[in-house]
Amino acid sequence: MNVVNEIEKEFIKYDELPIKIGDLVQVHVKIIEGKRERVQVFEGYVIAVKNSGNRRTFRVRRESYGIGVERVFPVNSPRIEKIEVVRHGKVCRAKLYYLRDRVGKAAQVKQLIK
């Protein structure tokens, strides 16, 4: 078991995830279109973080033209350029799946003021 942990440590880009549930984040993702490569920004709220170690993923949700769009990102994916936290959210839950039923301003998370 220790051998597996040592191998996984080499591939872990974010050992401590810089985001928390409820944060508004910008995820910069590499998109490959034929021979060209560009960076696309996906901005939304983190509604779930699952697993641990090398398999850790986080789910980001945003509304695009009135339609909810969710994307699951592996934390250690080579396609992720960087993760920026726009603002921290104030939540009391581990998963924010209830945001799926809300539209407009009701689908926002309050800002955490420190």
Domains of the chain, by residue range, sit at 2-101
CA-to-CA dists, residue 3 to 7, 14, 49, 68, 110, angstroms: 6, 20, 25, 42, 43
Indicate the average pLDDT of the chain: 89
pLDDT above 70 for 49: yes
Options 3.40.50.1580, 3.30.70.660, 2.30.30.790, 2.60.40.10; CATH of 2-101: 2.30.30.790
Q: What are phi and psi of 27, to 5 degrees?
A: -105, 120
Q: What are phi and psi of 88, to 5 degrees?
A: -90, 145
pLDDT above 90 for 15: no
The proportion of the chain whose per-residue pLDDT surpasses 70, expressed as a percent, equals: 92
pLDDT above 70 for 13: no
Torsion of CA 105, 75, 19, 29, to 10 degrees: -50
The proportion of the chain whose per-residue pLDDT surpasses 90, expressed as a percent, equals: 62
Question: What pLDDT does residue 11 have?
Answer: 65
Tell me which residue has tokens 């973080």.
Answer: 49
pLDDT above 90 for 48: yes
pLDDT above 90 for 104: no
DSSP 1: -
Number of neighbouring beta carbons within 10 Å of residue 24:
20
Q: Which neighbouring-strand residues pair with 39? A: 30
Top-confidence residue, 54 or 107: 107
